[in-house]
Chains A and B, each alone.
Chain A
Amino acid sequence: MSTTTPVAIDVCNVTKRFNLSNTASSLKTAVLDLIRRRKHQTFTALNDVSFKVHKGETLGLIGANGAGKSTMLSIIAGTMYPTIGHVTCNGTISSLLELGAGFHPDLTGRENVLLYGSIMGISREDMRKKFDAIVDFSGLKDFIDQPVRFYSSGMYVRLGFAVAVQVDPEILLVDEVLAVGDADFQRKCLDKMDEFKSKGKSMLIISHDMHTIRSISDRIAYLDHGVLKGIGSPNEMAAQYGAATINGKNGDAKREWGTGEAKIASAQLVDSCGKPISVVNDDQQLFFELEYDAPERIETPTFGFSITDEAGRTVFGSNTEIEGFDLPYIQGKGKLMLKVDAKVLRSGNYMMSFSLHNRNHTINYHRLENHIPIYLPTATGFDGMCKLPVEWN
């Protein structure tokens, strides 16, 4: 995205702090606090976050729960104000934050649609014109004159989404809405978002579904505990986020141990030419460069590796001995190249571990566990953990 493209959302040094004790909502505590001059405890939800969303761009926002994603969206939507910094938006905003949240249960679907439209600033006349399209999209023709309290949660969301997209804003904010609704409706939503993109409108999307967010976003911003950890290409950020999640989940999963008679001095992900990279290519060919250091001669060493998935299950593991790559001995420093064809694996976050041990596994010279996080990007449609060769006749 070139810098000359007009900016749709400009988030500038935004810091948001919440007063923790402010929630008491009682006059008594307020007066007492005033008398005691007690300082409110604050919680920093966002810390000096700056980014821009260009016109026509779709930015994904990822991060763990509590990272500040929704706070960010609320500030952009204008329902919260930043403590420091400011947000500028060019264009009308429609937010899909909790679909149908503004609906009143006692009003009918029709009345709620009109109410929602007018809240979004659309004239009643325009809304009448769009009404049929909204009803069609939601698929609730038969229920539109029923009070929405009789709606199922799925119907609620469908109507909410239908209204929000038909409002036709210039900027669309989407907060984790695709988790609800059936497959058919999710398909419809994604189509609508694509259509939105092709119209050159800007979107900001929060989702925990990495597949969706990666496929729809042009760039991804990664928030961690209120700090913007990075903003960049979807694959790169997904890999970074995935690594952080795995590390966080397994505590200090990354560890090394062994007798130390010989060491794997370094192990890194490289491309086919041997250049260090951080993101795996779409063909999912993994190349690793291992450097070892054996001060003394080691007889019949075995180098091994394993790939574990997010749940910590070993997906695949092998070593030089199994593969018939015979190493009589190592001495001094040296390099090994490892190539793994991982295209059968489904996309997701994985961890690479490496080991150096003797032939019968009695001595572990050096082990690097959960050493390199990798993110496999290819999203081929299949069910399960890996794709097996299949032939139909």
Chain B
Amino acid sequence: MNLIKQLIQRRELIAILVIRNLKIRYKNSALGFFWSLLTPAFMILMYACFAKLLKFADGSDYLPFLVSGIVFWQFTAGCMNDSLNAIVGNTNLVKKVSFPRIILPLSTALANGVNFLLTIAVLVVYLILAGVFEYVNIYWLIPAILMHLMLCIGICCVCSVANVFFRDTQHIIGIGSLAWFFMSPVFYRTSMQTDAIVSVFGVAEASQLKGIVFLNPMTGILGAYRAGLMQNQLPVPEGVSLWWILVSASICFIVFVAGLIAIRKGDKSFGDVL
């Protein structure tokens, strides 16, 4: 609770650091902030063109499904990448001034979050144009964003602290994020994951155990986002209990708490190691 009080006291610093992070990202670029909108727009355009040319997404909602998955995944991936420098890149500050260290990874996560919100705006425009947008279940965005934020803040804290002590972290993250990408239903459907559980581990078709894929928090997060924004999307595949979303949510929470603990434990040594 003390931490929350501190963070509220330092909200201006957090705001300034978030803005700084964003500014530095677009430093010396003529279009500046517009790149936050242009990049996802071009990405969607690119996927759309190649999907048309190669005919791999004809006549289905696969293209919006894929594009949205990538947009959501990029928030997680962006946080993982930027977190490496959250503390190490601010060595000067950390060594010279005392302030709650969690502000550094937090502002990194939030800066990515701001970027992400802009990307979502572009995504919504695209979904409307593609005719698959649906706002009836939009309330699913609330748990989706909450879970995603907790997860990303947690990841930022853990990775930024780990990178202070072990510079191997950046390589581990490189490999780890690739593996995680393939384990998450970004370009395939969650039902394919549960089917795989059934066939590989011999779990009974009717068993709820196949919901074990929701131990990957991104599975729950992606499901919730898609359910909130797109037609005919359920947060969980058919035959899997909705309660499994809570498993993903718990994992997000655990990562978040782990992040807080990591910062707390690491703080005492930052000045010595950096």
Residue of B with least CB distance to A23: B273
* Cα of A18 to Cα of B20 in the assembled complex, Å: 33
Residue of B with least CB distance to A22: B273
Count of chain A residues near B, Cβ 8 A: 33
B132 at the interface (CB under 8 A from A): no
Residue pair B20, A26 in contact (C-beta under 8 Å): no
* Cα of A114 to Cα of B98 in the assembled complex, Å: 17
Residues of chain A lying within 8 A (CB to CB) of residue B20: 104, 107, 111, 115
* Cα of A123 to Cα of B268 in the assembled complex, Å: 27
Interface string of A20-43 (1 = CB under 8 A from B): 001101111010000000000000
CB neighbors of B among A103-145 (8 A): 104, 106-107, 111, 114-115, 118-121, 123-124
Binding site for A on B (CB under 8 A): 9-10, 12-13, 16-17, 20, 23-24, 27-28, 92-99, 165-168, 268-273
A102 at the interface (CB under 8 A from B): yes
* Cα of A107 to Cα of B27 in the assembled complex, Å: 9
For the residues of B in contact with A, the DSSP-based class is helix
Query: With A22-B273, A26-B167, A30-B166 known to touch, is A79 a contact of B27 (CB < 8 Å)?
Result: no
Residue pair A102, B12 in contact (C-beta under 8 Å): no
Residue pair B168, A26 in contact (C-beta under 8 Å): yes
Binding site for B on A (CB under 8 A): 18-19, 22-23, 25-28, 30, 74, 77-81, 93, 95, 97-98, 101-102, 104, 106-107, 111, 114-115, 118-121, 123-124
* Cα of A376 to Cα of B6 in the assembled complex, Å: 51
Residue pair A102, B168 in contact (C-beta under 8 Å): no
Residue of B with least CB distance to A98: B96
CB distance from B158 to the nearest CB of A (A): 14
Interface centre among A78, A111, A118, A123 (most CB of B within 10 A): A118
CB distance from A154 to the nearest CB of B (A): 18
Query: With A102-B93, A104-B20 known to touch, is A124 a contact of B272 (CB < 8 Å)?
Result: no
Q: What would 7 A/B residue contacts be, using CB atoms closer than 8 Å?
A: A26-B168, A74-B271, A79-B95, A93-B98, A97-B95, A106-B28, A119-B93
CB distance from B238 to the nearest CB of A (A): 43
CB distance from A180 to the nearest CB of B (A): 16
* Cα of A4 to Cα of B273 in the assembled complex, Å: 39
Residue pair B16, A95 in contact (C-beta under 8 Å): no
Query: With A80-B272, A118-B13 known to touch, is A95 a contact of B97 (CB < 8 Å)?
Result: yes
* Cα of A80 to Cα of B17 in the assembled complex, Å: 22
* Cα of A328 to Cα of B28 in the assembled complex, Å: 88
Residues of chain B lying within 8 A (CB to CB) of residue A121: 9-10, 13, 99
* Cα of A115 to Cα of B23 in the assembled complex, Å: 13
Residue pair B168, A101 in contact (C-beta under 8 Å): no
Given contacts A81-B268, A115-B20, 15 further A-B contacts (CB under 8 A): A22-B272, A23-B273, A26-B166, A30-B165, A78-B98, A79-B96, A79-B270, A79-B271, A80-B272, A81-B269, A104-B24, A107-B23, A111-B20, A115-B17, A119-B13
Contact of A80 among B12, B23, B24, B271 (CB under 8 A): B271
Contact of A97 among B96, B165, B268, B272 (CB under 8 A): B96
* Cα of A114 to Cα of B20 in the assembled complex, Å: 11
* Cα of A258 to Cα of B16 in the assembled complex, Å: 73
CB distance from B193 to the nearest CB of A (A): 31
Residue pair B97, A118 in contact (C-beta under 8 Å): no
Residues of chain A lying within 8 A (CB to CB) of residue B273: 22-23, 25
Query: With A23-B273, A104-B20 known to touch, is A118 a contact of B12 (CB < 8 Å)?
Result: yes
Residue of A with least CB distance to B171: A27
Residues of chain B lying within 8 A (CB to CB) of residue A77: 96-98
